[in-house]
Structure 1
Amino acid sequence: MTALDALAAELARAPGLAAKADIAAVTRRLGLTGAGGAAVPVGDDCAAIPDGDGHLLFAIEGFMNRFVAADPWFAGWCGVMVNLSDIAAMGGRPIAVVDALWSPGDGTAAEILDGLRAAARCYGVPVVGGHSNLSTPQPQLAVAVLGRAERLLTSADARPGDRLVMAVDLRGAWRPPFDNWQAALGAPADRLRGDLALLPAIAEAGLARAAKDISQAGVVGTAAMLAECSGVGITIDVTAIPAPPDTDPARWLKAFPSFGYLLAVAPDHEAAVIRRFTDRDIAAATIGHIHAGSVVSITDGRSTAAVCDPGAFPLLGCAPHGMPAVTRPVRTLMGEAVP
């Protein structure tokens, strides 16, 4: 097995990718469908609800109990930050935040709420209500955000021939114990708000077809979700990925960055999109290409190794209109079924 094959196998087994396979079971049980199959299709970073000349965006995130227990203040902060990233990924701007909080007493609750409040103030988005229960065995947190987009970036509009552009803020550091790359804490509020505003500006200028926030599934797992929703294949050049210096490639490819996006961009707009990010000191580069098929692969320029095939074994269960609805469990191309 080559080093590239070993990396592909490690990425295929990554817990962040495996967790996304749970989504297909949920969408199937609810009878939800992807692009072309419903008035409000699912599978994107937010629900996009038609509203006049634009769309209301509705995003929600629930957090791992062990994360909330281990780092309650940061979990509260992330409740706002990750939802705003999802709103931005679809070309939107946030309107308001609500939260649902469970905690064994008011001590842990206070830490969570302090983090949430700090992020809301920093990003300039009001918290307008929610739900609380301070008599539960363990802390739990879910946060939802409402936003609006004038022109959507979706997960369903990537096309063969598009370039895959990655933008990521490298001005940060790892925040243990999880593989979170934190580049927001300590950054000026006006910079954070301006950085998020890049995505709706790109959408409104017509510079990108599709985008997706890099999630806990990491770069390749996020690309797999984009590939599934658009009905395309993606090949990623691991040597082109912007990364912090001296970082283990496998760890970085599985990491959740506080500001990180994948965009499907027509070749004519590739340079302009990259320049929008680099002008604000955000690392950006073309890291791959989008093509016919459904396999997501990695390459080092010499050889190629497949990671997964979400078209045959879906993560989300949100195949685009005209594609068969597949209900088999996701399976990596390493021959292992994801539980």
Structure 2
Amino acid sequence: MITNVDTAQLGQLGERNILEELIIPRFSTFRSDSTGIGDDCAEIGAPPDGHTLVMTTDPCPTPLVFDIADRDYWHFGWMTMLINLSDLAAMGARPSGIVVSTVMPNEMLVTDYQRFLDGLSAAADEWGCPIVGGNIKDGDSFTATGTAIGVVRKDQILRRVGARPGDQIFVVGEMGLFWAGLLRLMYPQRVVIGDAAAERLGRSLYRPVPRIREGIVLGGAGVVSACMDASDGVSGCLRELAIRNDADFIIDADLLRPCEAVAAVARSLSIEPAKLLLSWGNWELVLTVPEKRLTAFYDVATAQCIPYMRIGQVVPGPGRVLLDTDGGTALLSNFASERFTPTSYFTHGIESYAHWLLEHPLTETDQT
């Protein structure tokens, strides 16, 4: 038993006590179709006729807000669920459950691990995704990896391939808030905004959301021809979709309209707000809609209060992302979080990426 919860370390408990005192009591009765945690495998019910299971797995990177503003392990729990459910959202799938594997140092405080479980539980409740199993292991540093399972009707599944010339390009979600909020924290002397804007940016940093509901609704409505989640950034998502669909994606600069909170940060830093809209951290869905389905898309989005922004259209081409401005058309710079590149913050640090975001031009120098 834990005697002094404020100072107790995981190494003082041991594996069995961690399971029996911290994990099983919390999740064994979590609502699900499973029989609970404790067996060698998690049990997931078979999908109904006409449906299929989809699965995704992602390790949770250190949440940036954890390093910069709030060292609370709650953010690890929330983010572990978020990054996996965002992939399910991009397929139009409803969550069935998630298994979570954590590596924890012996000296990690029990209270810190409990905060991780708090964040995981909060996200599970928020999006109806039961924690049905996982694994714990000791190691040098804390890591968390989730594997989420979802179910979707076979005729309603959303995929990355399917866009055609003439389709309109949309972003579902709230663009630009994450990096606007992060830059406000990183450059407090330069960024001066009002209280309402600050509160909105704070929510995007501390409580980012996957677009599960929106993916399910739009998939069920049959209005989407191609879809991808923008976990690594809207610009990177556009690039991937253009390549996969063997078509050019033309982004209309006049349609990239930031909300006031994002615009205020961009003004303070003297940068184009489009950079913030096209960067990462907001967990949007980027999707295409055929011309003949536009009315149905607008109707369902309005009826279901789905936030969206139309940003361009698909045209014939070799798979480029182009920005159309009054000055002409140019290749759009890729502001994605892309690993194994000079702009990867995982390798080079968040300050390096922030500097690149602020200084790099919105378009590449080669004109088309």
- Give the whole-Å Cα distance in 1 for the aligned partners of 2:329 and 2:226: 24
Q: Is the 8 A contact 1:182 1:257 kept in 2?
A: no
Query: Which residue number corresponds to residue 113 of structure 1?
Result: 117
Unaligned runs of 5+ in 2: 1-46, 187-200, 267-272, 340-362
Query: Which residue number corresponds to residue 260 of structure 2?
Result: 245
Aligned: 1:202 with 2:207: no
Alpha-carbon shift at residue 335 of structure 1 (Å): 8.7
Alpha-carbon shift at residue 75 of structure 1 (Å): 2.4
Q: Give the counterpart letter for 1:119 in structure 2.
A: A
Q: Is the 8 A contact 2:175 2:278 kept in 1?
A: no
> Structure 1 residues 162 and 102, CA, compared in 2 at 3 Å: closer, same or farther?
same
SS for the counterpart of 1:57 is strand
Match of 2:320 among 295, 302, 306: 295
SS for the counterpart of 2:139 is strand
- Give the whole-Å Cα distance in 2 for the aligned partners of 1:186 and 1:243: 20
Q: Is the 8 A contact 2:251 2:311 kept in 1?
A: yes
TM-score normalised to structure 1 length: 0.65
TM-score normalised to structure 2 length: 0.61
SS for the counterpart of 1:197 is helix
Query: Which residue number corresponds to residue 139 of structure 1?
Result: 142
Match of 1:152 among 151, 157, 163: 157
Alpha-carbon shift at residue 145 of structure 1 (Å): 0.7
- Give the whole-Å Cα distance in 1 for the aligned partners of 2:112 and 2:169: 41
> Structure 1 residues 181 and 74, CA, compared in 2 at 3 Å: closer, same or farther?
same
Query: Which residue number corresponds to residue 189 of structure 2?
Result: none
Query: Which residue number corresponds to residue 262 of structure 1?
Result: 286
User: Per-residue CA shift, 1:183-231, capped at 9, x if unaligned?
Assistant: 59679xxxx89x6333223223321111111212x21111111122222
Q: Is the 8 A contact 2:65 2:206 kept in 1?
A: no
Segments of 4+ moved more than 3 angstroms: 65-69, 169-178, 180-187, 278-282, 333-336
Query: Which residue number corresponds to residue 30 of structure 1?
Result: none
> Structure 1 residues 169 and 281, CA, compared in 2 at 3 Å: closer, same or farther?
farther
Q: Which stretch shifts more, 115-124 or 227-236?
A: 227-236
Alpha-carbon shift at residue 67 of structure 1 (Å): 4.1
- Give the whole-Å Cα distance in 2 for the aligned partners of 1:275 and 1:252: 25
Q: Is the 8 A contact 1:237 1:287 kept in 2?
A: yes
- Give the whole-Å Cα distance in 1 for the aligned partners of 2:131 and 2:243: 34
- Give the whole-Å Cα distance in 1 for the aligned partners of 2:300 and 2:205: 19
Aligned: 1:57 with 2:54: yes
Query: Which residue number corresponds to residue 27 of structure 1?
Result: none
Q: CA RMSD of the aligned region, Å?
A: 3.6
Q: Is the 8 A contact 1:165 1:274 kept in 2?
A: no
Alpha-carbon shift at residue 274 of structure 1 (Å): 3.3
Unaligned runs of 5+ in 1: 1-49, 316-332
- Give the whole-Å Cα distance in 2 for the aligned partners of 1:109 and 1:257: 26
User: Per-residue CA shift, 1:219-251, capped at 9, x if unaligned?
Assistant: 111111112222222111233135321423212
Q: Is the 8 A contact 1:198 1:276 kept in 2?
A: no
Aligned residues between the structures: 259
- Structure with the bigger RCO (C-alpha within 8 Å, sep 6+) is 1
- Give the whole-Å Cα distance in 2 for the aligned partners of 1:51 and 1:308: 44
> Structure 1 residues 300 and 274, CA, compared in 2 at 3 Å: closer, same or farther?
farther
Alpha-carbon shift at residue 283 of structure 1 (Å): 2.8
Q: Give the counterpart letter for 1:79 in structure 2.
A: T
Q: Is the 8 A contact 1:68 1:140 kept in 2?
A: no
Query: Which residue number corresponds to residue 226 of structure 1?
Result: 241
- Give the whole-Å Cα distance in 1 for the aligned partners of 2:48 and 2:118: 33
Q: Is the 8 A contact 2:163 2:288 kept in 1?
A: yes
